[in-house]
Amino acid sequence: MSGTQTTGMKKSLSLWNYFTMGFGAIVGTGWVLLVGDWMIMGGGPISAMLAFAAGALFLLPIGAVFGELTAAIPISGGIVEYAERTFGKTAGHMTGWFLALGNAILCPWEAIAISALLSSMWADLPGLEWITSIKLYEIAGSPIYLIPTLVAEAVCLLVIYLNFRGASAAAKLGSFLAKALLAGMLLAMVTSLFIGSPSNLLPTFARVSAQNSGSVAGVTTTAGTFLTAFLAVLVITPFFYTGFDTIPQSAEEAGPNLNWKKFGRIIGLVLLASGLFYVICIYAFGTIFPWQESVADPVPALSSILKISMYLYIPMLVIGTIGPIGPMNAFYGATARILLAMGRKGHLPRSFAKIHPKTGTPVVPNIILAVATVVGPFLGGNLLIPLTKVDALAFVVACTVAAAACLKMRFTEPDLPRPYKVPGGKIGIGTAVLAGLILVGLQVIPGSPAVLDPVSWCIVIVWLIAGVALRWVASRKSSKPTLAA
């Protein structure tokens, strides 16, 4: 751990900061925008609830792996170090680059989500029609409006500013947003309790056609059975659990008195809390009205509340609109630290390893992410689905490599101090590797209900080419890392 003392990163984060960072990064606003899509894909809320519960359990061993590795090697962007010291420099580069893709996507994704909510739900309120009065252009069938774009850009600038200031400022925002999201869940639960009925969850499985789907993205039920519908939802859940990895990426900024054994448990707690949050939200919005009726409306989470009371609708809409700030904030910081680690190890040009002397933040990575984030609102809502699929694959691939590295290090570095260990030892770690391989297989094996489409594969290929090019540039300038991790 001594290597972490000379990095220049400010050490101020507590266990609560890490919990709210991870929870806010995971939950965000997906439950508001896409709960209807989940029910449509699953042919009903029951399969969707089971899929999200199973997704959390699938990832729990992987979360424990990150807990063990981070507590043993608490450095920024540690996944690069884990992969490189076990499988070599190329593996370290590819793993870090894949996870950077998965995390970086979330910054423009959340910016697009804010703009989409403003263009649809806010603009439908009486007296607010002017929000969409000025149309800039249309891209891939998605209209881009001036006012929503400006508001989304203001949010982007806030997140960029906080991350340039340092991890402490960003963590305070995460704490506030976590409380706001819990308030939204509580509102949905209370509404469901007094207005809804469990009978509205039936039928257990029914196909939803394009004619009966209110999905903005045009989602329909493509599965033919309850089981295949369950799998169709299960394979996208990694995207909606992406975020727990933001916790280890900021490990280098932990406070001096942090209990690393408890830190290892935080990731598992975040996954379980997020899984419970998702299941409760799907149940709540699936029971307020008959689910087939709800999914016929766009954004059922908001449409259902609107049918009951405008006084309940406005607070839920506000919570849903500010929700994306949490993931954007967390993924911005996490991606910057992955790129920082890759710069230190020589996978990227040395300029990526530069840290601001006053704020202790990565300079070049922050600038690159600032550009990517502010571009988001100009890309249109139809890019959300391809980005979702790419993120899920990139995230699971990186997590699987980390789990394999953890297992190998149990044999190659048995004496490495491990304040926290994966429950079940090598068997528990092996379970994490197996879970990761299953999720990767479901996304790449032809015939799978969620195999990547051509657009998503194009994004992956372009990203890999860019990574190879940057590594070539780095190797030309220097083959020696600036800081031994």
DSSP per-residue string spanning 66-79: HHHHHHHS--TTHH
pLDDT at 170: 57
Nearest to 221 by CA among 386, 49, 45, 42: 42
More confident residue, 254 or 76: 254
Predicted confidence (pLDDT) at residue 47 exceeds the cutoff of 50:
yes
Q: Are 264 and 68 in contact (CB under 8 A)?
A: yes
More confident residue, 282 or 341: 282
d(CA 271, CA 249): 16
Stretch 305-324: mean pLDDT = 85
Give residue 11's pLDDT band: very low, low, confident or very high (50, 70, 90): confident
d(CA 326, CA 243): 10
Predicted confidence (pLDDT) at residue 236 exceeds the cutoff of 50:
yes
Give residue 29's pLDDT band: very low, low, confident or very high (50, 70, 90): low
Least confident window among 42-56, 140-154, 155-169, 400-414: 155-169
Rounded to two decimals, the pTM is 0.79
Q: What is the enclosing helix (H) or strand (E) of 135?
A: strand 135-139
Question: How much of the chain, in percent, has pLDDT values that exceed 70?
Answer: 91
pLDDT at 203: 95
Output the six-digit token pair for 375.
């571009």
Mean pLDDT (the chain, rounded): 84
At residue 416's C-alpha, the angle toward residues 415 and 421, to 5°, is 105
What digits encode the pLDDT tens for the residues 424-433? 999 999 999 9
What digits encode the pLDDT tens for the residues 370-423? 988 888 888 776 666 666 677 778 888 888 999 999 999 999 999 999 999 999
